[in-house]
Amino acid sequence: METTEKSSNFPELPKGAGPIDPDAPEEFTETASGLRYRILRKSDGRKPTATSKVVAHYKGWLDNGKQFDSSYDRGQPTPFPLDGVIAGWTEGLQLVGTGSMIELEIPAELAYGARGRPGIPPNARLHFIVELKEVK
């Protein structure tokens, strides 16, 4: 069962990101796994499956606002196999189609958990803006 919770506002978009829909929800939806998301730009484009390869532009940050990664900063979208990334990405990107933008709030259990990784502390909740550019 999915639930919603009010949020205060939208995150600052990175330079080069496309627009947010005027009617984008302010609320996050939470899935059964604990992933929280809101679709900032809808699209009727092709949706990926858990085993799809995708190309996405994204920005990731921690609860304290510190950015840890951004394809926008590198100037080009990044290809990913959805079955080769953190579980929160695999689940979240299947909710949208090519051309869409989604904001993900990924609990540690669906990210890097207790092990963390360089630049990401153990048990960190991760935040992402993701524009799905292509499903291969």
Task: Indicate the pTM of the whole model.
Answer: 0.92
In a domain, 19, yes or no: no
Can you give the pLDDT at residue 9?
82
Domain total for the chain?
1
**Average pLDDT of span 68-73:** 96
Q: Is 70 exceeded by the pLDDT of residue 4?
A: no
In terms of residue numbers, what domain contains 116? 38-135
**Average pLDDT of span 82-104:** 97
In a domain, 31, yes or no: no
In a domain, 13, yes or no: no
> What is the phi-psi region of residue 109: left when phi exceeds 0, alpha when psi lies from -120 to 50, beta otherwise?
alpha
In a domain, 26, yes or no: no
- Token pair in block for residue 66: 């510190």
In a domain, 30, yes or no: no
pLDDT band at 6 (very low <50, low <70, confident <90, very high): very low
In a domain, 18, yes or no: no
In a domain, 77, yes or no: yes
pLDDT band at 12 (very low <50, low <70, confident <90, very high): confident
In a domain, 48, yes or no: yes
Can you give the pLDDT at residue 76?
95
Q: Any idea what the CATH number is for the domain that residue 80 is in? A: 3.10.50.40
Report angle CA 75, 92, 38 to the nearest 5 degrees.
Answer: 85
| Predicted confidence (pLDDT) per residue in 125-135, tens digit | 999 999 999 99
Catalytically active residues, by annotation: 58, 68-69, 86, 112, 128
